[in-house]
Structure 1
Amino acid sequence: MKQQGMILWLTGLSGAGKTTIAHGVAQKLQRRNYRLEVLDGDVVRTHLSQGLGFSKEDRDTNVRRIGFVAELLSRNGIIAIVAAISPYREVRDQLKQTTTNFVEVYVNAPLAVCEFRDVKGLYTKAQVGQVKHFTGISDPYEEPLNPEIICQTDKFTPQQCVNQVLHYLEQKRLIDFYKNLMQISS
């Protein structure tokens, strides 16, 4: 199957559900033989962006690096699924303007929900000053102004959000997910 590359960029607070949705979309697409790569912000930071801190400049550098890798993959017909907080709007918008087939997904959950989901206790540590520059507590998160998709993970299940993303990609003819599903089941 010939496929076009794209960048599916999931942004949102820590604990909003970016990684869960990214892996859910990836799993469904892989079952349909789509070639893809998941770039998880935490994993990329430990390898590609090792040594960067959490200042605005370092965060912007990290996001640009992830964007560069995603664009390389996309140019070569791979679906790059990025799950990264990417808190600053300006850098996300630059990526959107300078890459092709960039789909921004705002994984939206209220701060209180993200704090409740926080199994690592990072929000608690940030609130008492043990973790500096923590997005949503001591550093800002700038919500996207015009994301292509908004997944409200406090109102919908992860599976509903995955389906929402796949439906959008199908509508925009970036994938033929449902058409391929019909062919496979026939």
Structure 2
Amino acid sequence: MDAIRSPSVGELSGRDQAKTRALAERLGSSAQRGIFAEAVEFGDVVLVAVLHSAVADVLSTAGAEDEALRRKVLTDCTNAVVSDRFVLDLPAGTSMPEQLAAQAVGAHVVKAFNTCHESVWRLASPAFDGRPLIVPLCGDDPDAVATVRSLVTDIGCEPAEGGRLERAALLEATTAFLIGLWFGGVDTQAMLPPHKYATGA
């Protein structure tokens, strides 16, 4: 879990303190370490970046049910994917960010950054074949979506409005499908035609 107050300052927290310390050292003096509750208190934007099976426990530890995340922008990049079947490990008709919204009282949840392996976000400016990476966003609060949109552009990517949070389930299912294709060796960039052909040539 990461919390961001400004583009140059962030607080990191994790269940493995040794890994958290190593990451903070790699990021430099602008990164600080703390427990989950401290990270949530510190930041205006909180990024949930843990295994989907750990999300509920991590949020509880951070005080989600006690309104610790009220008015915070809670960004969900998790993927609840069953690794050997590439299907979603979620009840039908729901999504991870909707579960977060139900647990984190008063938080403004936005789904984003879930379509790529974490190594992609370490690139200085994710772009492929000269085109910046597009990052879909789903959320119900316009101000929260605008905040995450600015984070997307700050790292050199292009935000794409994905609609309300209810549409996040579609984004997650698409990602699960793509992950299965990637593991099968398929270059999924070749799956879709250019936009001008989207509604017919």
Please classify the TM superposition score into its range, dividing by the shorter chain length.
Answer: 0.3 to 0.5
- Larger strand proportion of the pair: 2
More helix by share: 1
Normalising by structure 1, report the TM-score: 0.34
Taking structure 2 as the reference length, the TM-score comes to: 0.32
**More RCO (CA 8 Å, sep 6+):** 1
